[in-house]
Amino acid sequence: STFTDISENSTTETTSETNTIEDNQLPLPKESAEFSFLSGAGAWRTIITLNRDGTFTGWYLDSEMGETGEGYPMGSAYVCDFSGRFENIKKVDEHSYQMTLTDIKTEKPVGEEWIEDGIRCVASEPHGLNDPDNNQECVEFIFYLPDTPVDQVPEAFLDWWPYRYTQETEPKGTLSCYGILNVTTSFGFFTTE
């Protein structure tokens, strides 16, 4: 498959009087925002740039420098460049929106290998947007606004929030950033603060 830009011509209109976002749009502060899904203990991460119209581009990287072999003395890397679209964006309440992942394309087929700069690269899935336990794409996601009370979101989702305990002895009571919940896996993508 080939990587395609599916962002098309997006238009976002806001009404200054009511400050509402038109239907099927996400209430981002700018045209797009960067979200991260990563492990504090590992060298892997998935980064997506999400647009107000639900389209996004992203990449995944997991470096395994100990996985070496002939032709790749610098180790291995599992990578994925992808693009996709969330549709059926519907406001649930004052803090959240439901959305459905309807389209995702990867630049290279999963499993394809090549060597680049002494590193073996292996094309992978877009980690975080799929369900690795059941080897399938996930479709239902929830978009959370900053100030969402943490008691209204799954605890497993909060485990992925890197700023939960920032300079506090107690967990924060509300999200301090935007978040995206993968409903199937409880994986969490968050903007930086």
Identify the residue with better confidence: 169 or 21: 169
Q: 193: pLDDT confidence band, cut at 50, 70 and 90?
A: low
Q: What's the length of the chain?
A: 193
Mean predicted confidence (pLDDT) in 178-190: 95
pLDDT tens column, 73-123: 999 999 999 999 999 999 999 999 999 999 899 999 999 999 999 999 999
Half-sphere exposure of 146 (CA within 13 A, CB side): 8
- Given a cut of 90, whether residue 148 has pLDDT beyond it is yes
14-23, 25-34, 43-52: least confidently modelled range = 14-23
Distance CA 192, CA 34 (A): 8
Q: What's the pLDDT score for residue 156? A: 93
- 113 burial (CB, 10 Å; 0-12 / 13-18 / 19+) is exposed
Residue the block writes with tokens 């925002």: 33
Rg, Å, the chain Cα set:
18
Q: How confident is the model at residue 167, as a pLDDT? A: 58
Please classify residue 182 by burial: count the beta carbons closer than 10 Å to its beta carbon, then call 0-12 exposed, 13-18 middle and 19+ buried: buried
Detail the DSSP E strand segments found in the chain: 32-38, 44-51, 55-64, 76-91, 96-106, 113-116, 119-123, 130-131, 136-137, 140-144, 179-182, 188-190
**What percent of the chain has a predicted confidence (pLDDT) above 70?**
82
pLDDT tens by residue, 43-79: 799 999 999 999 999 999 999 988 999 999 999 999 9
Report how far apart the first and last C-alpha atoms of the chain are (Å, whole number). 35
Vertex 98: Cα angle to 96 and 100 (nearest 5): 150
pTM for this model (two decimals): 0.83
